[in-house]
Structure 1
């Protein structure tokens, strides 16, 4: 009998019932990725190179500058999941989850939505650190597809 070892991400995707992500994710957040990413990068002077560390799921290895934390806040504000004062809107964030990963995405958001921060920018960053802790592979995959969608 021949057994095949699946890479961790492939195994997770199979467990989540996600078998065809070749085209990426869909949904309202990804429909606005290019517009939102461009606006928030420009407002916060964030270079794409720094984002790579997060795509590679190394969020716990970096201490980003405030402008990066505010970049994350800007994205969340634009997608209506956070307001300028750092108040989290769980209903809006749940609607931002791509349908391809809805069950796991909702679980992660419900776990992380109360994560505190010292200000609105730090709150956004701490929420994303929590998302990463809950499922690093999925977090990295979502960021990868966000980056791809923002380039189109």
Structure 2
């Protein structure tokens, strides 16, 4: 499960009856056990990149914003979970393997995100990681979270 978390990187999802544009943040979402599993890798990447908690929270729950440390944090997470190559290009087959482990609801959302975000843009691995996260967030802002 730990690897999947990174694979889709914190973009997992549950369908709910939320109004358009409203974030789902409650005692069950993001899944607490998922956040616990992500914490050690997130802490390691935060230390390596110097990204602030505020920058992570703003991207997760607020607006997309430019922050070099945040972009490299996203790249670090992907690399730690081994779902990108050295250039930061995603291994979609590895992501799919992890997606397939979850229930139908999560698979449906995850597959939509992966299909929508196949072409990361950017001159380096940090920019490409950011491109993927930005795409995931704009594709499904209700369920996207970054921990």
Q: Give TM-score scaled by structure 2 length.
A: 0.71
Secondary structure in structure 2 of the residue aligned to 1:73: helix
1:55 aligned onto 2:60: yes
CA shift, 1:31, in A, is 6.3
Q: Distance in 2 between matches of 1:111 and 1:73?
A: 19
Residues 74 and 11 of structure 1: CA distance in aligned 2, closer, same or farther (over 3 Å): closer
Match of 2:9 in 1: none
Alignment check: 8 A CA contact 1:57 1:137 kept = no
Q: Distance in 2 between matches of 1:77 and 1:130?
A: 18
Alignment check: 8 A CA contact 2:23 2:61 kept = no
Structure 1: unaligned runs, 5 residues or longer: 1-5, 14-19, 148-152
Q: How does 1:33-112 map to 2 (within 5 A)?
A: 33-59=38-64, 62-64=65-67, 66-97=68-99, 99=103, 101-112=106-117
Match of 2:28 in 1: 22
Of 123-132 and 73-82, deviating more is 73-82
Deviation by residue 1:21-64 (Cα, 9 ceiling, x = unmatched): 7274389x7564012101100100111111111121411xx211
What's the Cα RMSD here?
3.0
Q: Distance in 1 between matches of 2:94 and 2:36?
A: 15
Q: Give TM-score scaled by structure 1 length.
A: 0.69
Match of 2:134 in 1: 129
Q: How many residues align?
A: 127
Structure 2: unaligned runs, 5 residues or longer: 1-16
